[in-house]
Amino acid sequence: MSQSWDARADAHSFYGFTDLPTIHDRGTVVLTHGHGPYVVDVNGRQYLDANSGLWNMVAGFDHPALTQAAQAQFARFPGYHAFFGRMSDQTVMLSEKLIEVSPFERGKVFYTNSGSEANDTMVKMLWMLGISEGAPQRKKIITRKNGYHGVTVVSASMTGKPYNSVFGLPLDGFIHLTCPHYWREGQDGETEAAFTTRLAAELEDVIAREGADTIAAFFAEPVIGAGGVIPSPDGYFQAVQPILKKHGIPLIADEVICGFGRTGSVWGCQTYDFIPDAIISSKALTAGYFPMGAVILGPDLSDRLQHAADMMEEFPHGFTASGHPVGCAIALKSIELILEGGLLEQAQALIPRFEAGLEALSHNSNIGEWRGKGLMGALEAVADKASKTPFDGSLSVSERIANTCTDHGLICRPLGQSIVLCPPFIMTTAQMDEMFEKLEASLKKVFAEVT
């Protein structure tokens, strides 16, 4: 074809979560392959991907053990479902492994194709549970502003981002509490402990206002990811979980981003020292090598949902590719690599250098805050550091930084006024230094242009 790759992409592709002015000005970066933490475009240009794809490619883009696991399973049994009392042996083994490595003493697993679908499925499970237990009014879902839980109609309603208003969402009954971002949401003179106390009081007030018997669950990411990498304030889950337990409201940990090592522990809930009632998993579950999500149910919800399903003789929900044998084989290998093959230890070893690099860049007069947990972090751009005043939105500062990084051969993600980094676990110290050097050069260039 005579057209360029980016013109061909623009002619026939409808972009999601993409800054369209950037596409109009710069075109699409069309990639052909990757190696280690790098991806390569159609022109042979290499980029260090500091996003791990989309939080998920923790083992890089060409890990031989993962591709071999996929190839072997494709040759052995390339596809099946998990309906009608049939499922692959790989599906059975993965469910066993997920409960084994979970914080639960026992439980059950249900598979989806994504984290969005897993959150959506969890809500359907909770609504079914309410009806089966004689409480059909128990349908409301509590999340937090800036929290991200997916893009289906239900999971987008859970997501506390204003852009969902273009779809007429959220649906009724989805309640968004204050974002737990102490730097931005804390009041003048308020300590972090007092901020946590205020958030817990807000939860108690909302439960009293709405009625505990109308609330199906509280969903929370241990670290808010796509809302800008917002770690939970000190003592947050220790403050909110007793309130939820008192009112019989399940706590669901959305570990789509945090799970399998991103926070430095296997699970984000372990990093923050709490045990939820269920875990939502995806992304690093398969190291990004296959689309898969999972609802991991703890013992109480497992028992109650099993009883509800037994009463109607089935759980009328599922997806054609639920528990796909190739995806399950890859997930088993991914978990092995993370927990036994050294990937988690590699991530943990990188964390001090990662935090030091973020802290060093935060001394820039136009960086208001660095924040992060484990191997995920963000730098928030501000026009004025003392007052925390953001740049005028028309300047598109974070997009400009991300685009300048691309020009330097670095992929990072703009989120609001922040630049987000979530490097692969396989990154070397030299590659991490490369990441920060390119980011620093990009920050200096853009801030010189806009200040």
Distance between CA 232 and CA 196 in Å, rounded? 9
pLDDT band at 173 (very low <50, low <70, confident <90, very high): very high
Q: With 60 as the cut, is the pLDDT of residue 403 above it?
A: yes
Domains of the chain by start residue, with CATH: 5-62+342-450 (3.90.1150.10), 67-339 (3.40.640.10)
Question: Average pLDDT in the 263-283 region?
Answer: 98
Phi, psi of 139 (to 5 degrees): -130, -15
pLDDT band at 179 (very low <50, low <70, confident <90, very high): very high
**Three-state DSSP state, 145:** strand
Question: Average pLDDT in the 97-101 region?
Answer: 98
pLDDT of 1 = 56
Question: Average pLDDT in the 364-378 region?
Answer: 98
What's the mean pLDDT when you consider all of the chain?
97
Question: Average pLDDT in the 190-204 region?
Answer: 98
Report which of 28, 55, 24 is spatially closest to residue 263, judged by C-alpha positions.
55
pLDDT of 373 = 98
Question: Average pLDDT in the 369-389 region?
Answer: 97
Burial class for 303, CB neighbours closer than 10 Å (0-12, 13-18, 19+)? middle
Distance between CA 308 and CA 317 in Å, rounded? 13
Distance between CA 347 and CA 55 in Å, rounded? 13
H or E element at residue 46: strand 46-49
* Dihedral over Cα of 48, 261, 220, 280: its sign: positive
Question: Average pLDDT in the 136-149 region?
Answer: 98
pLDDT band at 375 (very low <50, low <70, confident <90, very high): very high
H or E element at residue 89: helix 89-101
pLDDT of 2 = 67
Q: With 70 as the cut, is the pLDDT of residue 297 above it?
A: yes
pLDDT of 381 = 97
Q: Judge contact between 50 and 435, C-beta under 8 A.
A: yes
Distance between CA 59 and CA 70 in Å, rounded? 14
Calculate the dihedral angle through the C-alpha atoms of 397, 399, 400, 403, rounding to the nearest 10 degrees.
160
Tens of pLDDT along 1-18?
568 998 999 999 999 999
Q: Judge contact between 419 and 381, C-beta under 8 A.
A: yes
Distance between CA 338 and CA 58 in Å, rounded? 9
Quick one: how far is CA 160 from the chain centroid? 14
pLDDT of 14 = 95
Global pTM? 0.97
Q: Judge contact between 235 and 158, C-beta under 8 A.
A: no
pLDDT of 176 = 98
